[in-house]
Each structure stands twice: as structure tokens, then as C-alpha cells.
Chains A and B, each alone.
Chain A
């Protein structure tokens, strides 16, 4: 439980920003605006990480989500100029809204009904050093697998979008 007033206020401001921007992604009628609201929501999530004393993950979040993935999505929107950009819904919008509401109510119920094993631990000190140690000691195999996965994804993305040459 965090009771420091500044952190509590920051948490609620960031939480409202994040959820509000995420809702705007669904509400705006222009796809490129939806991408921008999504980037804002990612930055809000990075702020939440800082409140929860995950400084390294917050930096990674800003770099990869708000940086790389938002730019990638903007490029994908710009590379599909003739496609429909109205950010409209299919006929599944009604059932999808009901399902999302049900999932949300189940999560809220479980979150408040379970007696979590809460520790009174203070905030972590800077986490980068201990995270690096965790990556290179107990999690070294998943770490290497992740690097191979990134390589395969990069090659796959290039192959998928490559112009087919005339003699191929």
C-alpha cells in the first residue's frame, strides 16, 4: 500500500489519462488520431510503472511502445493510403462491448474478492542493476531465445513486405 500523497495523486492522474486515452482510441473516427491517443496511453502506462517503482521497465516502455510501436503503426497507416481510415466498427461491436464489460466486471470482482498476500515492502531502489543480473543469471535461456525471436520477426517482416523482383 502506497500512502505518499504525491505518488497517490500521480497514480490517479496517470490512471485516468491512460484509461481515457485508451477509450479515445475506440471513440475517435480517424485512424491516425487513434494511433496518437494510443501512444499517449502507452506513455501514461510508463508513468504508472514509475509510480510502482519499475523505473527500468518504464524507460523500456517509452522506448519500445511509445517510440517504436507507435511509429510502426503510423507507418502502417501511411503505407495503406487507399484503405478505409474511418476507424469504424464491424457488426460485432455490440456483442464485443458486452463481452468486454463482462470481462471487466469479473476482473474487478476477483481483484476485490481475493485476499492477496500483501507485503509491506518499501519501493524498490533503482532496478536496472538487479534486472540485468536476473536476465544474465536465472533467465539467461529465455533472454537468448527472445533475441532469436526478435531476429526471426525482423527477417519475417522484411520478407513479407519485400517488393517481388521481376525475375523471381
Chain B
């Protein structure tokens, strides 16, 4: 496809831009959403974006141990699972006391 040089091959730059899109959407979700579960979804998307870039670097960049990127991605997934479990437990615990998980109504510590 000579008329579409951008689309004709998969290069590191395109993987990084894909990761950038996912990260930006995750950042927007975690900053803008009102529901605590929505915020958590944004955090998970950002972690996924980082994993995409790690795997992309592992595939394309010169390195003495190229599989290290995939090892780091598995560690990120582990930490993300732990973080999701604790964060959702926190949301349920807050809901038991306040009957809401909207972050703009949970303002006990606001000055």
C-alpha cells in the first residue's frame, strides 16, 4: 500500500501512539467521572496503556534481554489486580456508610 505509508506496517511509533490514546482516555475518565467505579476504570485503562507500550518496546527495541518488557507487563497486571480488589472493596465499604460512591458527595475531609 504505497499510498498509505502510515498504515502499511506496524512500527514502534504506532504502538506508542495507541498506548498514548488509551492513557489519555484513562486519564480523562479518572479525572472527570463522578462515580468511584468510573474512576477505577480510568486507572485500569492507564495501566493497560503502560502495558501496551512495555510490550511494544519489548518487541521492537534493541536489548540484551528483550523479554524483560513482558516480565514487567505481568508484574503490572499483578499489581493492577491487587489494586482493583482493594479499590472496589473501599468503594463498597464507603457505600455501606454513605449510600453513595459519588466522589463529589464524599467530602468529609474537604476544607
Contact = CB atoms under 8 A, between A and B. Distances in A.
B86 to A, nearest CB: 5
Interface in B58-110: 58-63, 65-68, 70-71, 73-75, 77-86, 88-93, 95, 99-104
A93 B32 contact: yes
Contacts of A64: 77, 80-81
A3 B84 CA distance: 37
Grouping DSSP codes into helix (H, G, I), strand (E, B) and loop, the B interface class, with mixed when no group exceeds half, is helix
Contacts of B10: 1-2, 7-8, 11, 51
A84 B105 CA distance: 11
A130 B71 CA distance: 10
Interface in A146-160: 146, 149-150, 152-154, 156-158, 160
Contacts of A3: 8-9
A76 B37 contact: yes
Nearest to B91: A76
Chain A contact patch, size range: 35 or more
A109 to B, nearest CB: 10
A111 B37 contact: no
Contact of B7 (A12, A69, A100, A153): A12
B28 A160 contact: no
A131 B75 CA distance: 12
Contacts of A23: 25
Nearest to A103: B24
A4 to B, nearest CB: 9
Interface of B: 7-29, 31-35, 37-38, 40-41, 44-45, 48, 51-52, 55-56, 58-63, 65-68, 70-71, 73-75, 77-86, 88-93, 95, 99-104
